[in-house]
Amino acid sequence: MPRNMSFMLTKDQVYKKEKTVTRRLGWKFLKPGDVVIACEKCQGLKKGETIRRIYPIRIIGTEWIPLMDIDQDDCIREGFPNMSPWEFVGMFCREMNCTPSTEVNRIEFEYLPRRSCYGF
């Protein structure tokens, strides 16, 4: 079974398949072709909660870049078409407790059809 990747802050964009890029502070092991399962939330589940899987996604590419290097096109691909790059950077820094110069893993992905072999 592929690993789970949380999209707690952008689950609506993932359900609508509007998001094709994500930025992470980790996931160094990812490489093109890897498949992971996009989930609503993977950690910090309360008693009785279960992981809610959304879609399997295939990694197209990854690169480590400064967070502040985001452009408007990537804001759109991140699922925030009405947000400027600096608004995105501010939101990311608040949520992830980092700075604009922090190196982040820019992960590009595509959606795969749901299949029973992925467990949902």
CATH number at residue 108: 3.10.400.10
Q: What would the two tokens of residue 16 be? A: 């609508």
- For position 36, what pLDDT does the model report? 95
Domain count for the chain, please give it: 1
Flag whether 11 is in a domain: yes
Residue 120 belongs to some domain of the structure: no
Indicate the helix (H) or strand (E) that contains 90. Answer: helix 85-96
Q: What is the pLDDT of residue 115?
A: 72
How far CA 86 is from CA of 13, 70, 99, 115, in Å, comes to: 20, 8, 12, 38
Q: CA-CA distance, 100 to 28, in Å (whole number)?
A: 19
The pLDDT of residue 45 is 66
Question: What's the sign of the alpha-carbon dihedral 113, 41, 34, 26?
Answer: positive
Does residue 66 lie in a domain region? Answer: yes
Longest dimension (CA), the chain: 41
- pLDDT given at position 50: 76
Residues 23, 107 contacting (CB under 8 angstroms) = yes
Residue 57 maps to a domain: yes
Question: pLDDT higher for 45 or 54?
Answer: 54
pLDDT over threshold 90, residue 91: yes
**Of the segments 2-11, 43-52, 78-87, which one has the largest average pLDDT value?**
78-87
CA 71, chain centre distance (Å): 17
The confidence band for 1, taking pLDDT boundaries of 50, 70 and 90, is confident
Global pTM reads 0.91
Residue 105 token pair: 């893993």
- Domain span at residue 111 reads 4-115
* 28 within some domain: yes
pLDDT of residue 117: 56
